[in-house]
Amino acid sequence: MEDISYGGVLENIRSEWMRGQMVGLVGPNGTGKSTLLRLLAGVNRPTLGRIYILGQLNSKISPKDRAKQVAYLPQQMPENASFTVEQYVEMGRFPYRTLFGGLDKEGREAVHRAMAVLNLLPFRNARLDQISGGERQRAGVARCLAQGSPIILLDEPIANLDVHYQLDILLYLQGLAQEGHLIVIAIHHLELAARYCDRLLLLQSGRVYAEGPPQEVLSECALEEVFQVKAKTYADPFGGHLRVSYSP
Amino acid sequence: MSNRRIRWTFVTLGIALFIGAALELSLGPVTIPVPQLIPDAWSYFQGVHDTNNVVIGAIRLPRLSVAALVGAGLATTGTALQAVFRNPMADPSIIGVSSGASLGAVLTIQLGLSQLNEWSTPAAAFLSGLIVVFVIYRIATVQGKTSIYALLLSGVAFTALCSSIVTLILSLAPLETMQQMLFWLMGGLNGSTWHEVLMLLVFVTVAVGIYLTQAHALDVLSLGEEQAQGVGVPLQQTKQIVLVTSAFVVGACVSSTGVIGFVGLVVPHLLRIWIGPSNRRLIVASAIGGAVLMLFADLIARMILLPAELNVGIITSLLGAPFFLFLLRRQESSVYRG
């Protein structure tokens, strides 16, 4: 990202991420995390600056070609929830479909694998409006995985999920990053962000407040300035990852 | 939706189409026994022109074909528009294309151009339908993004505008021209010709083919625009393809039969309940379902006041509106409710 701005919501965002990283976008509500993801996904175009995806200027890539490189799951749930879980996950294969074509063998395998990983096979024939919010969220993540793109952008992927699936999904995403994907997630849970992400981008009022390894970004000073909370940070005695204890 | 239910829906539609076609050809002021239909039609095309052959080959067969093709064109267009607008109330009249096409056709009748060339009314209907769609699209598109709500609202406004101009032209027209316009506006299949069949066959077949190429994109689009962009749906391109195709096919239908309401609204809505939201299946089923509805509506229009004949548009609205209200009341479909 080269100095990108977007209509007063984001200003002068500059950063470079590599495949193999899991990046967390953190910051208070309304600081532009979702807007930044939308710009990266090509949903909106920056008013200033440029975004490059794997070396190509984002605005010059066709929607289908971009989708082969970048999978994006917005925060909003599907408006039409009458599709089955399997049909929804199959939609991730849209960029690979031919003019009238169905799914090829590779597509069917990708869909099956994505549903298996997120434990959705028992619900494959259930409609999206017949499953819980958490299951719908997992179906959305599965749709992204089925897309098979090296870059995955997820807006609040663990909202609505119980702790089991929160950890499960973050662990799986971390595994994908280690396999060479670039994972970018907007996330509110700071401890989980610190535990699973390699880098954090902390936003404050549309600007980058800090970026780097979680231990550096989530300093007590930053938490107080950006979130206006008093907090102590310390290393978890068992895992060594960052823990945050908020003062009343 | 179980595969069995889907299969049975298609089988039922196929049987209904066959029965509708047989009755449409057989019944009327001259009743022709069903077993005689194929031999009589064959004789007509071999050049044997006795009364029954002519009734079948020159009157009822083109009429049946026009009815079925218009039904298929309107119903598939309704399906595609409902997916693009993500609104089950969308049908060809909602984006102003029907009323735009009507205005063009009424103008050619008023100006006497319809007498000059048989293609002048269809051409004017296409053109004015397309112009309305283009203007509405331009109004609703800001900085390269088309707002579905702006498109719907400007469609409603243009429908009102075009209808007012049509009423104005009607009220200023001489009695004979006014009757001609009114009959045309009410929607009729009287005097359908093989020329119209050929024109509609080309337009409807091409349109259904185009809609089918967009079916997967429409599935994803019905989830919401951001979801669709996330998997690579070219939003603007998909909207443009569906809108222009709908303008052409509805222009062809309106120029041939006048405005026929509710087919594009009721058929996809009903079939979605039975076979689910997948647009590929829905487009094919709507093509058959629209044809079936039009055949039975025309049968009623022709038979109910025999020997007088009603316009088919009256029947589709009389059947369609209460049926649609009944469906809404029962709230059977939760397709568009989150």
pLDDT at B206: 96
Of B216, B276, B338, the CB nearest to A81: B338
Residue B216 has pLDDT above 90, yes or no: yes
Residue B76 CA: distances (Å) to CA of B19, B73, B106, B235, B238: 21, 5, 25, 20, 16
Asked if B232 and A78 come within 8 Å (Cβ–Cβ), the reply is no
Contacts of A65 in chain B (CB under 8 A): 232
pLDDT tens, position by position, B285-307 = 999 999 999 999 999 988 888 77
The reply to whether A151 touches chain B by the CB within 8 Å rule is: no
pLDDT tens, position by position, A40-60 = 999 888 999 999 988 888 888
Residue indicated by tokens 């569906």:
B242
Distance between CA atoms of residues A11 and A5, nearest Å: 4
B338 assigned to some structural domain: no
The reply to whether A41 touches chain B by the CB within 8 Å rule is: yes
| Structural domain count, chain B | 1
B171 assigned to some structural domain: yes
pLDDT at B331: 52
The reply to whether B277 touches chain A by the CB within 8 Å rule is: yes
Residue A110 has pLDDT above 60, yes or no: yes
Token pair in block for residue A53: 């995806």
B239 assigned to some structural domain: yes
**Best of B223, B279, B332 to disrupt the A interface by mutation (most A CBs within 10 Å)?**
B223
B11 assigned to some structural domain: yes
Say how many residues make up chain A: 248
- The residue of chain B with its CA nearest to that of A151 is B230
pLDDT at B335: 45
Q: Point out the least confidently predicted range of B80-89, B141-150, B197-206, B245-254.
A: B141-150
**Domains within chain A, CATH numbers bracketed:** 2-76+151-246 (3.40.50.300)
Token pair in block for residue A13: 């965002």
Q: Point out the least confidently predicted range of B56-65, B313-322, B328-337.
A: B328-337
B337 assigned to some structural domain: no
Give the ipTM of the model, two decimals please.
0.85
Q: Point out the least confidently predicted range of A47-51, B87-91, B233-237, B277-281.
A: B87-91
Residue A202 CA: distances (Å) to CA of A13, A30, A137, A241: 11, 13, 24, 18
Residue B193 CA: distances (Å) to CA of A115, B122, B257, B312: 54, 13, 11, 16
pLDDT at A18: 92
pLDDT at A196: 93
pLDDT at A76: 80
| A 160-179 residues with CB < 8 A to B | none
Contacts of A99 in chain B (CB under 8 A): 213
Q: Which helix (H) or strand (E) holds A37?
A: helix A33-41
Residue B196 has pLDDT above 80, yes or no: yes
Contacts of B231 in chain A (CB under 8 A): 67, 71, 91-92, 94-95, 143, 147
Distance between CA atoms of residues B44 and B54, nearest Å: 6
Residue B183 has pLDDT above 80, yes or no: no
Contacts of B277 in chain A (CB under 8 A): 80, 82-83
pLDDT at B334: 47
B7 assigned to some structural domain: yes
Q: Point out the least confidently predicted range of A103-107, B182-186, B294-298.
A: B182-186
Of B216, B229, B276, the CB nearest to A82: B276
Residue B311 has pLDDT above 50, yes or no: yes
Of B212, B226, B338, the CB nearest to A43: B226
Residue B284 has pLDDT above 50, yes or no: yes
Mean pLDDT, chain B, integer:
85
Which residue type occupies B113?
L
Q: With the C-alpha atoms ordered B84, B89, B90, B91, is the resulting torsion angle positive or negative? A: positive
Closest CA relative to residue B298, chosen from B238, B257, B250: B257
Residue A100 has pLDDT above 80, yes or no: no
The reply to whether B10 touches chain A by the CB within 8 Å rule is: no
Q: Specify the CATH number for the domain of residue B297.
A: 1.10.3470.10
Percent of chain B with pLDDT over 90: 30
Asked if A83 and B229 come within 8 Å (Cβ–Cβ), the reply is no
B209 assigned to some structural domain: yes
Q: Which domain holds residue B160?
A: 3-330
pLDDT greater at residue A162 or residue B209? B209
A186: β partners: A25, A155
Asked if B232 and A80 come within 8 Å (Cβ–Cβ), the reply is no
The reply to whether A98 touches chain B by the CB within 8 Å rule is: no
The reply to whether B4 touches chain A by the CB within 8 Å rule is: no
Residue A136 has pLDDT above 60, yes or no: yes
Mean pLDDT, chain A, integer:
89
Distance between CA atoms of residues B323 and B218, nearest Å: 26
Percent of chain A with pLDDT over 90: 49
Asked if A91 and B86 come within 8 Å (Cβ–Cβ), the reply is no
Of B213, B229, B278, the CB nearest to A63: B229
| Mean per-residue pLDDT, B52-78 | 91
pLDDT at B337: 44
Contacts of A77 in chain B (CB under 8 A): 338
pLDDT band for position B1 (cuts 50, 70, 90):
low
Phi-psi region of A42 (alpha: psi -120 to 50; beta: other; left: phi over 0): left
pLDDT at A109: 93
Asked if A76 and B232 come within 8 Å (Cβ–Cβ), the reply is no
